[in-house]
């Protein structure tokens, strides 16, 4: 048996909460589990007071070194990126994209966040983050500028969904999301933006879809597949950052899941941070299952330390660049949005 504390297993978790969802007992739950951090999901505009109250609760419970992520464009002052037109010269559009991302990063930092979970580099028509005309190479270049702009404001980017969703279809019989694209096609198309960004990404989110090219006999979601997380991402591509398994997204594609079992499978596959809903039942299931797997030796102590090491490295990186934009600085940055939007249209 391996001795394993709740504090250690808690650090493998990111709790996702919505501003429109009840947050009863959230502070108590955070104190007892001590997760690595919290992702706040905002699908529609909200007020600063409500957000500030939630962030204060999180900070009181987790301290100053928590990972605080944002998903969605409903945060106060946030905006959708006006995309540089594809007819502009490469250097012009790169400068515009980097400046826009810097503005977004400053706003996130001013609100109290340190990670942006909204970056999608999928090549699907609806999921392209920059423009319908974007090809794989252009998405890669613009995404690189976006990550750079965020980093200048002390905000880290988490991109997804690896290895890409462009070829994913829903199986009529099982309802599962599956890609039948070959390894060669994935490498030349979907993986192009990821291969460009990996050296610059401290976090990477896995896809909830299955990929026959890597798990042909028994297709399994990428976030639960050691062939994808360990074989492709870690070994072939040499990625050293923290890998994120977003279990609520898995529910959207696979239907109802057993949170504890899925958390263990994601960790076994090679993921480091497991995102679960911020309710007591989901959190307890994930903690109990991972603690049990570690305690029984199903998951080794060495494997645990690998993930904890990557998470500590993330927190050290955030601590080293911790800063918050002043109200005047935020105002000055906001004033640039209009001009940059006009520049992007000309």
Interval 281-326: pLDDT, tens: 999 999 999 999 988 888 888 999 999 999 999 998 887 765 555 5
Residue 33 sits in a domain whose CATH number is 3.20.20.300
Question: Considering its fold, how many domains does the chain have in total?
Answer: 1
In the 8-state DSSP scheme, what is residue 173?
T
Tokens of 171: 């199986």
pLDDT at 85 over 80: no
258 within a domain of the structure (yes/no): yes
Sign of CA dihedral 26, 31, 33, 39: positive
CB 120 within 8 A of CB 129: yes
String of DSSP letters for 225-294 = -HIIIIIIIIIIS---SEEEEEHHHHHHHH-S--HHHHHHHHHHHT-SEEEEESSHHHHHHHHHHHHHHH
* Of 293, 278, 281, residue with least CA distance to 248: 278
Q: Would 290 be classed as within a structural domain? A: yes
Q: Is residue 197 part of a domain?
A: yes
Which range, of 11-20, 81-90, 236-245, 319-328, averages the lowest pLDDT? Answer: 81-90
Residue 15 in domain: no
The tens digit of pLDDT for each residue in 21-42 reads: 666 688 889 999 999 999 998 7
Which pLDDT tens digit goes with each residue over 166-196?
A: 888 877 666 678 888 999 999 988 999 899 8
State which residues form the domain around 299: 21-345
CB atoms within 10 A of CB 337: 17
H-helix or E-strand spanning residue 139: helix 136-152
Look at residues 204, 118, 119, 114 and name the one whose alpha carbon lies nearest to residue 155: 114
Structural domain contains residue 9: no
Residue 3 lies in a domain: no
Give the angle subtended at the CA of 116 by the CAs of 115 and 119, to the nearest 5°. 145
Entry pTM: 0.86
Is 13 part of any domain? no
Residue 84 lies in a domain: yes
């Amino acid at each position: 048996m391996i001795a394993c504390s709740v504090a250690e297993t808690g650090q493998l978790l990111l709790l996702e909460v919505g501003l429109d969802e009840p947050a009863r007992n959230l502070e108590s739950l955070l104190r007892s589990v001590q997760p690595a951090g919290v992702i706040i999901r905002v699908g529609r505009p909200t007020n600063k007071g409500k957000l500030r109250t939630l962030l204060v609760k999180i900070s009181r419970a987790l301290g100053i070194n928590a990972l605080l992520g944002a998903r969605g464009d409903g945060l106060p002052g946030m905006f959708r990126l006006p995309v540089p037109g594809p007819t502009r010269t490469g250097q012009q559009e790169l400068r515009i994209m980097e400046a826009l991302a810097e503005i977004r990063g400053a706003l996130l930092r001013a609100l109290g966040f340190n990670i942006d979970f909204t970056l999608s580099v999928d090549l699907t028509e609806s999921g392209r983050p920059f423009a319908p005309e974007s090809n794989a190479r252009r998405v890669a270049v613009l995404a690189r500028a976006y990550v750079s702009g965020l980093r200048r404001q002390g905000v880290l980017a988490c991109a997804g969904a690896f290895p890409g969703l462009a070829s994913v279809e829903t199986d009529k019989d099982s309802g599962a999301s599956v890609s039948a694209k070959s390894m060669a096609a994935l490498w030349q198309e979907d993986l192009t933006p990821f291969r460009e960004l990996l050296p610059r990404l401290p976090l990477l989110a896995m896809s909830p879809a299955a990929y026959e090219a890597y798990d042909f006999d028994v297709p399994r979601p990428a976030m639960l597949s050691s062939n994808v997380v360990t074989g492709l991402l870690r070994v072939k591509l040499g990625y050293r950052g923290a890998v994120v398994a977003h279990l609520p997204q898995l529910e959207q594609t696979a239907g109802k899941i057993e949170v504890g079992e899925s958390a263990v499978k994601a960790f076994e596959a090679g993921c480091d941070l497991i995102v679960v809903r911020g309710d007591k039942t989901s959190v307890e299931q994930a903690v109990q299952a991972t603690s049990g797997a570690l305690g029984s030796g199903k998951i080794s102590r060495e494997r645990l330390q690998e993930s904890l090491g990557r998470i500590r490295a993330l927190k050290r990186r955030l601590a080293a660049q911790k800063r918050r934009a002043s109200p005047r600085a935020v105002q000055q940055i906001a004033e640039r949005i209009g001009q940059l939007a006009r520049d992007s249209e000309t």
